Structure 1
Amino acid sequence: MDPVDTISSVDDVTIRPTTLGFTKQMVNSTTIGILVPYQAQGYRFSVEFNTQLITTYNTLSGSSSGTPSTTPGSNGVPIHVEPRNSLLIFAEAIPTGNLANALVPSSGDIYYPPTGSLTGLENVNHQIIYFQPGVYYMGSNYAPTLSTTVQWIYLAPGAFVKGSFELQGGASWLKITGFGVLSGEQYTYMPDRTNGLNHAQTDTCDSTCVRTLQFFVSSGTSPDLDLHGITLMEPPFNSFVVYANSDSDLNQFSMSVASYHQVGAWYWQTDGLEVYANSIVEDSFFHSNDDVLKLYHSDTSLSNIVIWKSENGPVFQFGWAPRNIINITVDDVDVIHNRIWWEDLKVNTCLINQAPSATDTSSDATADTTQTIQDLTFNNVRSEGMNMCFIRIWALSNLYNLNVNNMWIESWNGMPDSSQQSVFHALYNSVGGQVIIGNEVTDGQGLGLSNYQASATIVTKAANNWQDTSVGRLNFDGNLWNNWNAF
Structure 2
Amino acid sequence: MSIPRGGREKWEYDDSDGAEFAIPYRATGYRFSVEFKTKLFTTYNLNNSPSENANGRAIHTEPRDALLIFAESILVGNDVDKYIPNANKYDIYYVSPGRVNNLNSISQTVIYFKPGIYYMPWDYHARLSTNVHWLYLAPGAYVKGAFQFESTDDIKVTGFGVLSGEKYVYEADTNNNYHHAIDEQCWATCVKMLRFTSELGKQQHLHLHGITVVEPPYHSFVVYGDEQSFRMSVSFYHQVGSWYWQTDGLEIYRGSTVENTFFHSNDDVLKIYHSNVRVNNIVVWKNENGPVIQWGWSPRTINDIIVDEVDIIHNRIWWSDIKVNTCIINSAPHYADTYSINTADPNQLISGLTISNVRSEGMSPCSMRIYALSNTQSVTIKNLWIEQWNELDKYSQVSLFKAYSDRNGHKVTIGNQSWDKKGFAIENYTVGTIQIMKAANNWQDIHLGRLGFDAELWNNWDAI
Same fold, judged at TM 0.5 (above): yes
* Structure-2 separation of matches of 1:152 and 1:390: 40
Partner of 2:430: 453
2:320 corresponds to 1:339: no
2:93 corresponds to 1:106: no
Offset from partner CA, 1:47-96 (integer Å, 9 cap, x none): 0111111011001x2xxxx11100133xx110000011110000001111
2:454 corresponds to 1:477: yes
Partner of 1:116: 98
* Structure-2 separation of matches of 1:192 and 1:404: 39
Does the 8 Å contact 2:3/2:23 carry over to 1? no
One-letter code aligned to 2:78: N
Pick the aligned partner of 2:242 from 255, 265, 281. 265
Does the 8 Å contact 2:114/2:140 carry over to 1? yes
Partner of 2:142: 160
Which ranges in structure 1 are unaligned for 5 or more consecutive residues?
A: 1-9
* Structure-2 separation of matches of 1:449 and 1:443: 15
Which ranges in structure 2 are unaligned for 5 or more consecutive residues?
A: none
TM-score by length of 2: 0.97
Structure 1 stretches of at least 4 aligned residues deviating more than 4 Å after TM superposition? none
Deviation at 1:170, TM superposition (A): 2.8
Partner of 2:219: 238
Partner of 2:403: 426
Does the 8 Å contact 1:25/1:33 carry over to 2? no
Partner of 2:40: 53
Pick the aligned partner of 2:20 from 18, 33, 46. 33
Does the 8 Å contact 2:129/2:151 carry over to 1? no
1:192 and 1:287, CA in 2 relative to 1: closer, same or farther beyond 3 A? same
* Structure-2 separation of matches of 1:43 and 1:83: 19
Q: Percent identity?
A: 52
One-letter code aligned to 2:427: S
Does the 8 Å contact 2:302/2:350 carry over to 1? yes
Partner of 1:316: 293
Pick the aligned partner of 1:91 from 46, 49, 71. 71
* Structure-1 separation of matches of 2:351 and 2:383: 19
Does the 8 Å contact 1:256/1:280 carry over to 2? yes
Give the count of matched residue pairs: 462
TM-score by length of 1: 0.93
Deviation at 1:444, TM superposition (A): 1.1
Q: SS of 1:307's equivalent?
A: strand
* Structure-1 separation of matches of 2:152 and 2:235: 24
Partner of 1:6: none
* Structure-2 separation of matches of 1:21 and 1:267: 28
Does the 8 Å contact 1:25/1:34 carry over to 2? no
* Structure-1 separation of matches of 2:8 and 2:120: 40
Offset from partner CA, 1:94-152 (integer Å, 9 cap, x none): 11110111000012110001110001201001100010010010021001211000000
One-letter code aligned to 2:28: Q
Partner of 1:4: none
Pick the aligned partner of 2:61 from 68, 73, 81. 81
Partner of 1:3: none
Q: SS of 2:284's equivalent?
A: strand
1:103-182 equivalences in 2 (<5 Å): 103-107=83-87, 108-171=90-153, 173-182=154-163
2:40 corresponds to 1:44: no
Partner of 2:463: 486
* Structure-2 separation of matches of 1:101 and 1:289: 35
* Structure-1 separation of matches of 2:144 and 2:84: 21
One-letter code aligned to 2:69: I
* Structure-1 separation of matches of 2:3 and 2:328: 23
2:367 corresponds to 1:390: yes
